[in-house]
Amino acid sequence: MTETANPIPPNELAKISRALPFWLSLVLVPLTWISALYGGWTLVLVPVATWYLFSALDAALGLNTENADLSANESDMYWYKAITLIWAPVQFVLLASLLWYVPQAEHLNTAERIGVFFGIGVLTGTVGINYSHELMHQKSKLERWMADVLLAMTLYSHFRSEHMLVHHRYVATPRDPVTARYNEGFHRFYPRVLRQCWFSAFLAEKAMLERKGLPWTDPANPFWRYWALQASFLVLAVVLGGWSGLGLFAVQASVAIWQLELVNYIEHYGLTRKHLGNSKYEHVQPRHSWNAAHRASNWLLINLQRHSDHHYKPDRRFPVLQNYGPDEAPQLPYGYPVMTMLAMVPPLWRRVMNPRVRRWRQMYYPEINDWRPYNRADNPLPR
What pLDDT is recorded for position 5? 61
Closest CA relative to residue 189, chosen from 118, 120, 266, 126: 266
* Residue 293 per-residue DSSP state: -
d(CA 152, CA 128): 11
Q: How far apart are CA 10 and CA 23, in angstroms?
A: 19
pLDDT of residue 3 exceeding 70: no
Alpha-carbon distance of 330 to 357, in angstroms, equals 8
113 neighbors 102 (Cβ within 8 angstroms): yes
Residue 69, SS3? coil
User: In this structure, which amino acid lies at residue 233?
Assistant: F
Name 281's bridge partners: 275
Return all residues near 26 (Cβ < 8 A) that are at least 6 apart. 83, 90
> pLDDT value at position 322?
97
pLDDT digits over 316-371, tens only?
999 999 999 999 999 999 999 999 999 999 999 999 999 999 999 999 999 999 99
Measured CA to CA, the distance from residue 371 to residue 283 in angstroms comes to 19
Distance, CA of 49 to CA of 329 (rounded, Å)? 29
Angle at 138 between CA 133 and CA 140, to 5 degrees: 125
| 8 A C-beta contact, residue 368 and residue 281 | no
Q: How many other C-beta atoms are found inside a 10 Å radius of the C-beta of residue 383?
A: 8
Strand partners, 38: none
Beta bridge partners of 294: 63
Angle between helices 186-211 and 346-364 (to 10 degrees): 60
Q: What is the pLDDT of residues 342-353, one digit of tens each?
A: 999 999 999 999
> For residue range 190-203, what is the model confidence (pLDDT) as tens digits?
999 999 999 999 99
pLDDT at site 4 = 54
Mean pLDDT value of segment 34-63:
97
pLDDT at 374 over 70: yes
Q: Write the CA distances from 180 to 73, 118, 273, 291, integer angstroms.
A: 35, 25, 13, 15
Residue type, 190: Y
> Per DSSP, which regions of 168-231 are E strands?
none
Helix (H) or strand (E) holding 277: strand 275-277
The closest alpha carbon to 298, from 322, 272, 273, belongs to 322
Beta bridge partners of 277: 280
- For residues 301 and 337, give the distance between their C-alpha atoms in angstroms, rounded to a whole number: 10
Which pTM value belongs to this model? 0.95
**What is the predicted pLDDT for the residue at 383?**
83
